[in-house]
Every structure is written in structure tokens, then in C-alpha cells.
């Protein structure tokens, strides 16, 4: 890693993004606290203006561009949420945004990208294919490339989520968050462990296509096959030339878990039934991991990052059927 991020970078990001990205609530879950005999807090980043935590890093990255880069515009690859966040921030800052996505991105996220003002390029069957196209546009059209995770400004922006958790409940000792490219875990881990080195930071991925977990097991970034999942926003690789998040995840994540589709569905339906939250699969993987792996949390202060709510009707219906509650699919 060429330069090391510090807690100061996250504090600076917190100041920079105020006004475009929200300071989201951290609310206690009575149902989960009773279920696991601990205190469970839900970090509601699904309440960001674009419906996901990604807005934090997107705003910080765009505000870090120089004037010439802003005038040329930016390009990224995305599974949907980061592209939407970048487009939203770009509209507010007067910066043109192009988003490259694969055919696996759900239709509702494609529509949201276009509604947010992004130029959308759909190419290939994987996030790696979309990344190749984004890099081509960077070279041929002179656009500034912004990684959705492997970028220091993006990581610092996502780290503000962890900083807020500690500011809102300083006694938190365990944090669960979705694990994909590693931008969220890297930033949250840096923030939380810089303030409380004894806190545990736990990442969760879906069973298949868990790129960061596969890479950590191999000791280096590796490619994985992408498959459709309720946790679609956790799909994609981490990049074979990963410069930031692989090393930071190694350093700041204590444990990583995989969860199956049925458990993700059950977690989504728990949040709907007990918390009245309609969230995408990636936002529910913390609950899924605790249930599937029977993680003992008795007496702990636990924060779950509820990362986003950008799911389609079809995804919610699929979750209902997998969780054994098909009647909800008609709501």
C-alpha cells in the first residue's frame, strides 16, 4: 500500500461530505437484542438519499477531484449502488458521471442509475467486464476513473459510517457489515479499531462469488465467478491489482463469514416483520451470519450496518418465497 490511511482522513471526510451525505440514525433493535441476549444497534444507512451507504464514499471522492478532472467528468463500474451515489453527487456538484455495469445488475438499479442522471453502459456478464470498459473510457475519453471501493477517498468516506457508530454509541464492541470489494469493511474497520482496538469487525459475504474471502484465503487477490444473489450488491471481484482494500481488510477485519440465500431471505423478512424495514439482501447479511453460524453475542454491544434498501419487487418476492412467507410477495 503506497500510503496509509488514518483516522484523521475519516474525520476530514466527515466534515467534507456533510450536507450531501446524511448522518444516519443508530437505533436499538428490541427484537434482536432479546433474541441474542445482547444489545443490538441498527446503523440505518439505508436512509441515505440514494438508499445506500455508498453515497459517503462517492461524495468524498468527487470533492477530492481537481477542477480539470471535474470538467472532464468521471467513470466508474458498479453493481448499482455506487454508480447511483456517484451520479447523485455528480448532479449536485455539476460533474458528468458515466457508470459501467454488467448484465447481472437488476433492472430497478439500472432504472435508478438513469434517473440519477448517469450515462449507463451495460457490458458483459461480470463486474470485471464492466471494469474493463470503464478503464477503456478512462483512457480513450480522458475521464477520471473512480473505483467503487479501491480508492483512498472512497474508503475514508465509507469509514464515516464506522466513525458515526462509535460517536453515537461509544460502548459498541462488535460491528457486522457486508463484505464485497472491501471499501466498507476497510473504512469502518479503520475508524472503529483506531478508537477501540479491542472491538471486533466482522465481514459477511454470500456463499458463492465471495471475492474478498477467496482472496484472503489465497493470500492475494484472485478472480471469482459471479453468480446471481439476493445480496447482488456484494457481487464482483476486488481487482487483481488491488492497492488498498485487500491489505486493509487483512488488517482490520477480525472474521469473515459466508451465508446462504435462504438465510439472507429470512434475515430480510425479519427486518420487515420486526423493524418495518424493507432492505436489500446485502443489508441483512449480518443477521444471516449470526443466525446461520450461531455466533454467541451474549452481553455484547453489537452494531449491524444496514447498508441499503435498493431492491426490486422481484427480489423481495424471491426473498419471501425462500423464507417461506410467499403471501408477502403480493404486498
> Catalytic residue positions?
54, 307
Where do the H-state alpha helices sit in 94-210? Answer: 107-115, 127-141, 152-168, 183-195
CA separation for the pair 158, 5 (Å, rounded): 12
List Cβ neighbours of 73 (8 Å cut-off, separation of 6 or more). 95, 96, 97, 98, 143, 144
Closest CA relative to residue 127, chosen from 180, 91, 74, 179 = 180
Residue 51 gets the label, from left (phi > 0), alpha (psi -120 to 50) or beta, of left
**b/e for 217-247, b at 16 or more Cβ within 10 A?**
eeeebeebebeebbbbbbbbbbbeebebbbe
CA separation for the pair 9, 152 (Å, rounded): 9
Amino acid at each position: 500500500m503506497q500510503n496509509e490511511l488514518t483516522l484523521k482522513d475519516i474525520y476530514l471526510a466527515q466534515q467534507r461530505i456533510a450536507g450531501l451525505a446524511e448522518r444516519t440514525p443508530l437505533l436499538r433493535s428490541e427484537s434482536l437484542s432479546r433474541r441474542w441476549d445482547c444489545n443490538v444497534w441498527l446503523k440505518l444507512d439505508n436512509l441515505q438519499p440514494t438508499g445506500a451507504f455508498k453515497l459517503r464514499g462517492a461524495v468524498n471522492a468527487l470533492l477530492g477531484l481537481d477542477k480539470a478532472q471535474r470538467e472532464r467528468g468521471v467513470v466508474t463500474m458498479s453493481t448499482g449502488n455506487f454508480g447511483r451515489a456517484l451520479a447523485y453527487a455528480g448532479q449536485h456538484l455539476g460533474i458528468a458521471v458515466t457508470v459501467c455495469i454488467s448484465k447481472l445488475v437488476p433492472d430497478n438499479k439500472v432504472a435508478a442509475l438513469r434517473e440519477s442522471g448517469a450515462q449507463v453502459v451495460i457490458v458483459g456478464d461480470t463486474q470485471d467486464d464492466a471494469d474493463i470498459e470503464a478503464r477503456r473510457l478512462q483512457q480513450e475519453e480522458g475521464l477520471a476513473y473512480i473505483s467503487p471501493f479501491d480508492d483512498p477517498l472512497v474508503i475514508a468516506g465509507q469509514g464515516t459510517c464506522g466513525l458515526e457508530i462509535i460517536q453515537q454509541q461509544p460502548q459498541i464492541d462488535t460491528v457486522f457489515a457486508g463484505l464485497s470489494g472491501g471499501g466498507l469493511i476497510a473504512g469502518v474497520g479503520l475508524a472503529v479499531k483506531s478508537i477501540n482496538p479491542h472491538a471486533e469487525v466482522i465481514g459477511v459475504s454470500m456463499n458463492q462469488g465471495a471475492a474478498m474471502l477467496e482472496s484472503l484465503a489465497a493470500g492475494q487477490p484472485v478472480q471469482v465467478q459471479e453468480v446471481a444473489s439476493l445480496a447482488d450488491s456484494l457481487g464482483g471481484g476486488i481487482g487483481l491489482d488491488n492497492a488498498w482494500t485487500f491489505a486493509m481488510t487483512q488488517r482490520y477485519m477480525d472474521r469473515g463469514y459466508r451465508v446462504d440465500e435462504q438465510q439472507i431471505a429470512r434475515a430480510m423478512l425479519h427486518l420487515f416483520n420486526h423493524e418495518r424495514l424493507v432492505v436489500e439482501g446485502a443489508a441483512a447479511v449480518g443477521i444471516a451470519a449470526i443466525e446461520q453460524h450461531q455466533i454467541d453475542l451474549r452481553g455484547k454491544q453489537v452494531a449491524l450496518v444496514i447498508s441499503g434498501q435498493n431492491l426490486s419487487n422481484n427480489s423481495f418476492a424471491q426473498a419471501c418465497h425462500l423464507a417461506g412467507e410467499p403471501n408477502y410477495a403480493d404486498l
